[in-house]
Structure 1
Amino acid sequence: MDSNRTNTTNVTALLNGSTIEGPNWTFTPSFTLFIQLSAFVNNGAMVVVFARNAALITPFTVYLFNLFASNFIVSIFFYSIELINELYSAWWLGYAMCTMFQYTSWVLTGSMCIAHGTIALNRLWAVSFPVSYRRYHKKRFAVAVIATLWISLHIIVIPGLVLDAVWYRPPMETNGCNINTDAPQAWLWFAQLVIMDTPVVIVVAVYPIICYKTIQRNRARVRPAGATGTKMASRRQRAPSTVSPSVRSDLEASVSVRAGGEKQIEHRMLCCRLPGVRRGNGHGFLALTLMTSTVLLCYSPASVYFTLYICFNIDVPGMFSKVMILYELAAVLDPIWFMLSLSSLRAAFRRTFIPCH
């Protein structure tokens, strides 16, 4: 993904001792600037919402906050260096900044991918094992999971960055700053597969399982309309004769509404939210659907492209710019989708930014 982008800048100007050309505002840096500003505003607003609404923080929304915070940090650090890299014809930021560029491209953008995978696994646990989920999944548990993932991410990335900086990095005067790093190939394969590819596979694979579990739970929870009607009819037959005709007609009307409306209720539960979660609770099935669509549309093409490039040395012509455009959109879409699909997040947003609403 972003973290695997190879710097192909022209360093002829440096070799000739002349001034580096730039800034060159083509479509690519212009789009990167748009993404940076949009991601900064959208995710920054979500971070403020969480900071000002303590009641919004639940064991589940801790994972959402981690996603928004990752997107926000990426918009500040990674995209700032990436924008400069795209504007100028050669790398002129120095050796230390190149290492920083590699760090932000692997650790920070990798945290975005891992955040999506963590949310998907959390929803799978909630649907598959609801009893253990309610018993063990607390705020401290969620915070511990996120902290463990961040620590593990650094454990994976730091050795490769050190190897690149100390032994394997070629002169930047002739090769520029390669944010793939020139560390051993085995490390590149491992980092790409674990940090970038595995979360995408998890999100895409988990979603149909959650759909299946959701349908099963709703079918088990909703009684057949015919059985309900029969039970209520037998109750009406045993009802005292003292019940007035008007009350009896009201009872019959309520029975018919229940018998005809249960499948509609099941449909709404399936399409709008996870089973067993009250409306407005913030654990939306729709949110998971939109997140999966974003991962499938934005992350999957880049994951396939860079896996082919790093592991098999296959560079599909003309695909780099296209997959990068899709990949960068994810940081902008995440807060929009979650706010539109989760009523609790929308309410907190209105309280924070529209207090007189």
Structure 2
Amino acid sequence: MDQNTSANFSTTNTANNDTTLQFTWSFVPAMEAVIFPCVLIFNGSILALFLVTRRFQIPFNIYLINVITSNIVFALLDNPLDILNFISSYWWLGNTWCTVYLYAINVSSGIVMQSHMLITINRIWAVTFPHSYRRHHSVRNAAVLVIAVWLLVHVVSLPGLIMDATLYRLPIEITGCIINTNEMPVWSIMLQLIIFALPNLCIILAYPYLVSMRLRQRKVRAANRSPATTKFGGSVHFKANRYYHREASASASVTVTNNKAPERSQRRDNRAFAIFTALTVSITACWTPLDTYYTISCFMDLSTYVKTLEFCEILFVLQPALDPIFFAVIIPDVRSQILQWFRYRWASK
């Protein structure tokens, strides 16, 4: 993800008079080459499981499917070109592939960030307006929000990419594959803030609020349950005739039946919050350093901080592989399906 400043993390892909193509490997492209197939396998497996298993097709999982899909699209468009950009002595793939590369690192990576932001918005809606959430949140509405996010990223990103490709593209043989941000400073800053920096900040700041709201809701639920439980328990304890015990047993059975839906909803809410927690940790650890670097670079020159940039890139490369791992660990049905598949494969051998 080079975002709006540069498409070139490689320190060797710079202007030179030597037209001999040379490949030089370093730690970052080697790591990306290892992570790339893992991203495709992990995300592809979870995506296939969500799509073919009907019980996984609930409204909240639409956001998870969106995250996984955006990870796959970004990996396919960005990783091979990014690796070549790292190891090559100059950009030798031409303007068309340069445009694809710039699209990947600005639009595709932006969709990944906004997809995580959408889960944050979903959790804020769920805890702030729970009645509205239960009434209006559906698979259809979740899909509409996902489509809106993809459109938003394209609306903000494409004008600058189109202008760069048609009007301001620097000679790739000299400068490498980068966006000419000097000709589009307003768009450059707007892209960084709207698509990357502000969503990243909102994800981090929303977490304490969501934790406090969940604790408050637990106290309210505990207070509402306590009087009814005491009254019912006392009446059962002091009434001894057989008829009453039959009625009490039937009443308890109805109560348990009626409580199944809220308990199921509560389990789903806890699972969704656990997923949000894991994704917040991954975004904070893997995206925030690089987002911070590029946000600062919009206002001051950081070209001498090469090692800092490479460290941020190493963290960033890890993130798409972490999401499916979190989903597999946190969602019991996903975990059980994966374990069942492994047991089947082991038994077949």
After TM superposition, the score normalised by the length of structure 1 is: 0.82
Name the structure 1 match of 2:100: 100
Identity %: 29
- Match status 1:170 vs 2:170: yes
Partner of 1:324 in structure 2?
A: 313
Residue of structure 2 equivalent to 1:270: none
Q: Corresponding residue for 1:203?
A: 203
For the 8 Å contact 1:39–1:332, the answer to whether it is kept is yes
> Using the alignment, how far apart are the partners of 2:175 and 2:27 within structure 1?
24
Q: How far apart, in 1, do the equivalents of 2:95 and 2:242 lie?
A: 92
Residues 331-350 of structure 1 aligned to structure 2 (within 5 Å): 331-350=320-339
For 1:293-332, what aligned pairs fall within 5 Å after superposition?
A: 293-315=281-303, 317=305, 318-332=307-321
Is residue 48 of structure 1 aligned with residue 48 of structure 2?
yes
Contact kept? 1:85, 1:91, Cα under 8 Å: yes
> What is the CA-CA distance between 1:237 and the residue it aligns to?
6.9
Cα distance change of structure 1 residues 172 and 127 upon mapping to structure 2, 3 Å threshold:
same
- Which residue of the partner structure matches residue 74 of structure 1? 74
Partners of 2:7 and 2:105 within 8 A in 1: no
Equivalent-residue separation in structure 1 for 2:304 and 2:343 (angstroms): 48
Q: Which segments of 5 or more consecutive residues in structure 1 lack a partner in the other structure?
A: 252-273
Residue 306 of structure 1 and its aligned partner are, at CA, apart by 0.7
Match of residue 262 from structure 1: none
Letter of the 2:325 partner, please give it. Answer: I
CA drift at 1:117:
0.4
TM-fit CA distance, 1:354: 5.6
Post-superposition offset of 1:233: 7.0
Write the deviation string for residues 276-305 of structure 1: whole angstroms up to 9, x where unpaired.
734368843221211111111111111111
Contact 2:25-2:87 at 8 Å conserved across structures:
yes
Alpha-carbon distance, 1:9 to partner: 3.6
| Other-structure match for 1:159 | 159
Conserved in 1, the CA contact under 8 Å of 2:168 and 2:180? no
The DSSP-based 3-state class of the residue aligned with 1:174 is: helix
Preserved contact between residue 13 and residue 88 of structure 2 (Cα < 8 Å) = no
**Residue pair 1:6, 1:180 contacting (<8 A) in 2 also:** no
Q: Kindly tell me: are residues 282 and 184 of structure 1, through their superposed partners in 2, closer, same or farther at Cα, counting changes over 3 Å?
A: same
**SS of match in other structure, 1:313:** coil
Shift of 1:98: 0.9
Q: Is the 8 A contact 2:169 2:180 kept in 1?
A: no
Distance (whole Å) between structure 2 residues aligned to residue 278 and residue 146 of structure 1: 24
What is the root-mean-square deviation of aligned Cα atoms in Å?
A: 2.9
String of CA shifts for 1:113-164, please: whole Å, max 9, x gaps: 0010000110111111111111111111111111111112111111101111
Q: Which residue of 1 aligns with 2:123?
A: 123
Classify the secondary structure of the residue corresponding to 2:265.
coil
Q: Report how many residues are paired.
A: 326
- The residue type paired with residue 141 of structure 1 is N
How far, CA to CA, are the matches of 2:141 and 2:170 in structure 1?
43
Which blocks of at least 5 consecutive residues in structure 2 are unaligned? Answer: 250-261
Q: Which has more helix, going by share of residues?
A: 2
Q: Which position in structure 2 is the counterpart of 1:279?
A: 267
Aligned to 1:218: 218
SS of equivalent to 1:223: helix
Whether contact under 8 Å (1:282, 1:344) holds in the other structure is: no
**Cα distance in 2 for residues equivalent to 1:306 and 1:133:** 36
